[in-house]
Amino acid sequence: MKESILIKIMRYFFSIRGVLDEHNLREVNKVATNAFMFLWIYTAVANGALLIVSDKFLTHSTLIWFLFVNLIIALGGVSLYVTRKISKLKLNYREVSVEEYPKAVHQAIIHGAWFGIIYGIFCYFMMARIQGLFSLFTILFTLFIVVMGWTSDTQKEIGHIVKVE
């Protein structure tokens, strides 16, 4: 069965590797609902608090701190919660038969390569701002990041493949 784009996005963000059947989909929906409710309440409380704070406290640095705390709690906290739940439900594991294992490993290597390349591009532009676009250091650093990203992600992906008899 062909998966919709939404399911593919959900798979990517929730690191779901196995079969997304009705049971797993229900569990993922529960996690997503909890995450949504937390974000909704947090947004209401955080923005409400900012509205009632006196003007004299609303300096530029206060707002930067507010933004920083929001990123840590809303993005970091929710990511941590979702990752932990998905891991607990073992949805990040992929079960394959012995015959399909080499193919799954190959797919993990390809996944790792994409991860390394995207991570590398991101790091290249970050470093290019500091060292220059064609700096040798930028290029070597990017290559290092690509190799690191590739190997670490491949290792993680292979670790999540389970051979089933």
Partner 1 sequence: MNRVREYRKNRGLSQFALAEKVGVARQTVNLIENGKYNPSLKLCISLAEELGTDLNTLFWKVDETK
Q: Which residues are near partner 1 by CB under 8 A?
A: 1, 18-19, 21-24, 90, 95, 97, 164-165
Q: How far is the CB of 10 from partner 1 (least distance, A)?
A: 15
Instruction: Give the Cα separation of 149 and 50 in Å (integer).
Output: 39
Q: How far is the CB of 9 from partner 1 (least distance, A)?
A: 20
Closer residue to partner 1 in complex, CB, 1/6: 1
Identify the residue whose tokens are 């909890």.
Answer: 34
Closer residue to partner 1 in complex, CB, 55/165: 165
Q: How far is the CB of 91 from partner 1 (least distance, A)?
A: 9
Kind of pairing between the strands at 161-164 and 94-97: parallel
Tell me the Cα Rg of the chain: 21
Contact yes or no for 120/145 (Cβ under 8 A) = yes
